[in-house]
A and B are shown apart, each in its own frame.
Chain A
Amino acid sequence: MNKNVKIAVAGGKGGTGKTLVATNLFYVIKEEGKEVELIDCDAEEPNAGLFFNGNLIYHSDVMLKVPEINTSLCVYCGKCKEYCNYNAILMIGFSKYIKVIEELCHGCGACSIACDYSAITKKNRKIGEVNQYQVQDKALLTEARMQVGVYSPVNTVKTALKQNPHPYVQIIDAPPGTSCPFIHSVVHADYVVLVTEPTPFGLSDLKQSIETLKGMKKFYGVVINRVDEPNQEMMQYLQKENIKVLAQIPFDRDIATVYAQGGLIAQHLSAYKKVFTGLLDLIIQEICK
Chain B
Amino acid sequence: MQVAVISGKGGTGKSSITAALASLSQNIVLVDCDVDASNLYLLFNSTHEEEYAFVGGEKAVIDYNRCTHCGLCMVYCRFDAIVTENGKIKIKEVFCDGCHLCSRICPEKAIAMIEEKNSKYFAGSFRHGKMVYGRLAPGEENTGLLVNKVREKAKQIAKFQRIETILLDGPPGIGCPVMSTITGVDKLLLVTEPSLSGIHDMERMLAVAKHFNIETKIIINKYDLHTELSEQIEQKAKAWDATVIAKIPYEPLFVKAMIQQQSIVEFAPDSPSARIIASIYDTVLLH
Same complex for A and B? Answer yes
Given that A113-B76, A187-B94, A261-B226 are contacting pairs, would A148 and B143 also be in contact in the complex, using a CB cutoff of 8 Å? Answer: no
A201 and B42 within 8 A (CB): yes
Is the CB of B11 closer than 8 A to any CB of chain A? yes
B94 and A183 within 8 A (CB): yes
Nearest CB on B from A182, distance (A) = 8
A199 vs B13: C-alpha distance when bound (angstroms): 13
B141 and A148 within 8 A (CB): no
Q: Chain B interface secondary structure, helix, strand, loop or mixed?
A: loop
B101 and A109 within 8 A (CB): yes
Which A residues lie within 8 Å of B34 (CB)?
14
Pick from A15, A45, A176, A253: contact of B36, CB below 8 A.
A176
Pick from A106, A107, A149: contact of B208, CB below 8 A.
A149
Is the CB of A215 closer than 8 A to any CB of chain B? yes
Is the CB of B52 closer than 8 A to any CB of chain A? no
B138 and A200 within 8 A (CB): no
The residue among B97, B193, B208, B226 with the most chain A CB atoms within 10 A of its own CB is B97
A179 and B99 within 8 A (CB): no
B258 and A179 within 8 A (CB): no
Task: List residues of A (112-141) whose CB comes within 8 Å of B's CBs.
Answer: 113-114
Given that A14-B172, A109-B78 are contacting pairs, would A177 and B36 also be in contact in the complex, using a CB cutoff of 8 Å? Answer: yes
Which B residues lie within 8 Å of A83 (CB)?
100-101, 104
A108: nearest chain-B partner, CB-CB: B99
Binds A, one of B21-29, B120-128, B194-202, B234-242: B194-202
Binds A, one of B62-70, B157-165, B173-181: B173-181
Is the CB of B204 closer than 8 A to any CB of chain A? yes
B138 and A178 within 8 A (CB): yes
Given that A15-B172, A211-B138, A228-B252 are contacting pairs, would A179 and B36 also be in contact in the complex, using a CB cutoff of 8 Å? Answer: yes
Is the CB of A142 closer than 8 A to any CB of chain B? no
Chain B residues within 8 Å of chain A by Cβ, number: 64
A151: nearest chain-B partner, CB-CB: B176
Nearest CB on B from A19, distance (A) = 7
A45: nearest chain-B partner, CB-CB: B201
Task: List residues of B (133-188) whose CB comes within 8 Å of A's CBs.
Answer: 136, 138-144, 171-176, 179
Nearest CB on A from B210, distance (A) = 10
Contact with A along B97-122 (1 / 0, CB 8 A): 11111001100000000000000000
Given that A83-B100, A180-B139, A226-B255 are contacting pairs, would A19 and B79 also be in contact in the complex, using a CB cutoff of 8 Å? Answer: no
B175 and A208 within 8 A (CB): no
A109 vs B100: C-alpha distance when bound (angstroms): 10
Q: Chain A interface secondary structure, helix, strand, loop or mixed?
A: loop
Nearest CB on B from A249, distance (A) = 14
B143 and A259 within 8 A (CB): no
Is the CB of B15 closer than 8 A to any CB of chain A? yes
Given that A15-B11, A15-B12, A108-B79 are contacting pairs, would A179 and B225 also be in contact in the complex, using a CB cutoff of 8 Å? Answer: no
Which A residues lie within 8 Å of B11 (CB)?
13-17
A257 vs B144: C-alpha distance when bound (angstroms): 35
A148 and B208 within 8 A (CB): yes
Is the CB of A47 closer than 8 A to any CB of chain B? yes
Which B residues lie within 8 Å of A201 (CB)?
15, 39, 42-43, 258
Nearest CB on B from A218, distance (A) = 12
Is the CB of A237 closer than 8 A to any CB of chain B? no
Nearest CB on A from B121, distance (A) = 15
Pick from B42, B78, B80, B174: contact of A45, CB below 8 A.
B174
Nearest CB on B from A247, distance (A) = 18
A177: nearest chain-B partner, CB-CB: B36
The residue among B37, B42, B261 with the most chain A CB atoms within 10 A of its own CB is B37
Is the CB of A58 closer than 8 A to any CB of chain B? no
Task: List residues of A (229-272) whose CB comes within 8 Å of B's CBs.
Answer: 231, 251, 253, 256-257, 259-262
- What are 6 of the A-B contact pairs (CB < 8 Å)? A14-B10, A109-B101, A148-B208, A151-B175, A179-B139, A260-B225
Q: Please list the residues of chain B having a beta carbon within 8 angstroms of any beta carbon in chain A.
A: 7-12, 15, 34, 36-37, 39, 42-43, 58, 76, 78-80, 94-95, 97-101, 104-105, 136, 138-144, 171-176, 179, 193-198, 200-201, 204, 207-208, 211, 222, 225-226, 229, 250, 252, 255, 258-259, 261
A-B CB proximity, top 7 nearest: A15-B11, A14-B10, A177-B36, A108-B99, A14-B172, A44-B173, A15-B10
